Amino acid sequence: MHARLIVPVRLGFLALALLLFGIAGSAQAARRVEHYNETFTVENQFIGNDACPNSEAMLGAGTVHVHGTTVYDDEQGLHFNFMTNLQGFIGVGQTTGARYQMTDVQIGNQQIVGHLPDSNAISTFISTAHIIGAGQNNNLLVRGILHVTSDENGEIIALVDRFDIICT
């Protein structure tokens, strides 16, 4: 029922995880801590959904701030935490021309224990997004959690994948 909106959210989680894994995994394994801050502009399209009867497709742009910390431990393990914050996102409805605003916060944590590629991993990503428009029954609250634990063979041994969409 809500798959049309969830897909961009889940793809956002995946893209961000891969980006951060690439940033974190590019350094040599040694005992140290790295901090990073990035700001970039995003343009996106959101598709209407079945949760809100008055929703519509929307095009918009805003600024994403990414803050993170990566710790490399003595056993060549890797631990990183990040937070993204979407600010100033303004969208325009493709049917009505109505103006929408969106805020989004994503928090993530990933631990890779042992030597790559024979290591186990624990990853958790939490997202909360608000899409706010004029009028009734077109405001969305999207909440999601994705948790994956894998063993040293890459087999998933624990998985939580829950996304809720609420029309407000």
Span 17-49, pLDDT tens digits: 544 444 444 444 457 889 989 988 888 777 666
Residue 65 sits in which domain range? 3-167
Using a cut of 0.85, tell me whether the model's pTM lies above it. no
Which stretches of the chain drop beneath a pLDDT of 50? 1-11, 13-15, 18-29
Preceding omega of 117 cis (within 30 degrees of 0): yes
Chain mean pLDDT for the chain = 78
Rg (alpha carbons) of the chain, rounded to whole number: 18
Strand partners, 88: none
Total number of domains constituting the chain:
1
